[in-house]
Amino acid sequence: MIIFGIETSCDETAAAVVESGTREICSVVASSKEFHEKTGGIVPEVAARKQVEFITPVISECFEKYRKEKKFDTLEDCYRGIDAVAVTVGPGLIGSLVVGVEAAKALSLFLNKPLIPVNHLVGHIYGNFVNNTQELLLPAIVLLVSGGHTDLVLMKDHGNFEYLGGTLDDAVGEAYDKVARLLGLSKYLGGAILSKKALECDENTIKGRLPRPMVDQDNFDFSFSGLKTASKRIIELNQYPQEVIAREFEEAVVEVLVKKTIRAARKFNVKTIMLGGGVSANIHLREEVKKEADKLGISTQVPPIRLCTDNAVYIASAAYFNNKSVGYENVEVNPSLGIMDKL
């Protein structure tokens, strides 16, 4: 089954073609990130306008890539090759989501193929299933860490998830972004830049100065707003180099995420630990999870870095494994969709 996926939940406009949920045929991602960098944060109206500007060229380029990849003579051959269209319906910015959903409806009508709505958060998990030669054993604990979410989920099977816990306040990516801004490293989405800065520190001379929120609590919830405030205080002291604070912040975050994930993995006796979401691109987090999981004989699965941040490959993959195609008139955006919400 070949699915054409569309993703427009925030500031990326993406389209992809994926075969049998696991084989990426082609992918196109356009981003309006540079415009939000100028304003020091995302302006939803600007993001939506950029989605409108990008969506048709991105879909068109994706079809062209698909044609070349399959060595089809004409675009008509490509259209015939698609079995379904998939689209992110939430969570995300309403103006951005609407652009992708309306484009997907039109495409599904044009191709006369079913439309599959996809939960963006579930989509992130499927970055683990694409282009993966290793068999992925379930049940698994999934740690979903993005700019808007921090969730621990037990994945029993495709479409069968149990929510274990999540953040009570800020998402981990949001904390990264705010601390990167406080450190003067980046005005917008500074997670990766902060992490790079932390690598410049040879020795964490302030280890333990920042809190490890909720780390010893016997639950699967998180809290990052106190850590952000504590980081602000240390930065304002003006006593420590940026890279030392960056490293201590990253160690605090990773320690909490890894301890709680490992505790969940033990409690539910899972075969695999999976990461998903933009923050799963973090090298330190990937290494620490693997190190601790290896000790327990649990396998670790992380998406390739390229598939950690928003794209349509994992949307098409999630659609294949959770296929709930509906008439296009029944597909609606839901900006506040949670990971457990039914579509």
Interface positions with Zn ion (CB under 5 A) = 146, 310
Partners of residue 86 on adjacent β-strands: 5, 116
Residue 20's contacts (CB-CB under 8 Å, 6 or more residues apart) are 1, 320
Euclidean distance between CA atoms 139 and 142, whole angstroms: 10
Q: Residue 56: is it exposed, middle or buried by C-beta count within 10 angstroms (0-12/13-18/19+)? A: exposed
Question: 151 among the known binding-site residues?
Answer: no
The option from ligand KG4, Zn ion, none interacting with 192 (CB < 5 to 8 A, set by class) reads ligand KG4
We find the least distance from the C-beta atom of residue 146 to Zn ion, in angstroms, to be: 5
Question: 36 among the known binding-site residues?
Answer: no
**Please, which residue, 127 or 213, has the CB nearer to Zn ion?**
127
Q: Is 309 near ligand KG4 (CB under 6 A)?
A: yes
SS3 145: strand
39-47 long-range contacts, Cβ below 8 Å, gap at least 24? 39/188, 40/181, 40/187, 40/188, 41/187, 41/188, 42/10, 42/11, 42/93, 42/188, 44/93, 44/94, 44/95, 44/96, 45/95, 47/10, 47/11, 47/93, 47/95, 47/96
Which range in 54-62, 66-74, 172-180, 332-340 contacts ligand KG4 by CB under 6 A?
172-180
Residues touching ligand KG4, count (CB under 6 A): 19
**Please, which residue, 137 or 168, has the CB nearer to ligand KG4?**
168
* Among the listed residues 173, 222, 286, 290, the single contact to ligand KG4 using CB under 6 A: 173
We find the least distance from the C-beta atom of residue 147 to Zn ion, in angstroms, to be: 7
Which among 225, 215, 230 has a CA at the least distance from the CA of 261? 215
We find the least distance from the C-beta atom of residue 124 to Zn ion, in angstroms, to be: 6
SS3 195: helix
The option from Zn ion, ligand KG4, none interacting with 279 (CB < 5 to 8 A, set by class) reads ligand KG4
The option from ligand KG4, Zn ion, none interacting with 117 (CB < 5 to 8 A, set by class) reads none
Residue nearest to ligand KG4 (CB): 278
How far the first Cα of the chain sits from its last, in Å, is 21
Question: DSSP class of residue 167?
Answer: B
The residue type at 48: A
Mode of pairing for the β-strands spanning 140-145 and 84-90 = unpaired
Question: 146 among the known binding-site residues?
Answer: yes
* Among the listed residues 27, 146, 223, 300, the single contact to ligand KG4 using CB under 6 A: 146
Euclidean distance between CA atoms 275 and 151, whole angstroms: 10
Q: Are 20 and 1 in contact (CB under 8 A)?
A: yes
Q: Is 189 near ligand KG4 (CB under 6 A)?
A: yes
**Please, which residue, 168 or 199, has the CB nearer to ligand KG4?**
199
We find the least distance from the C-beta atom of residue 267 to ligand KG4, in angstroms, to be: 26
**Please, which residue, 46 or 64, has the CB nearer to ligand KG4?**
46
* Among the listed residues 96, 261, 282, 325, the single contact to ligand KG4 using CB under 6 A: 282
Which residue ranges are tagged as binding site? 120, 124, 144-148, 177, 191, 282, 310
Residues that bind ligand KG4 (CB under 6 A): 10, 146-148, 173, 176-177, 189-192, 195, 277-279, 281-282, 309-310
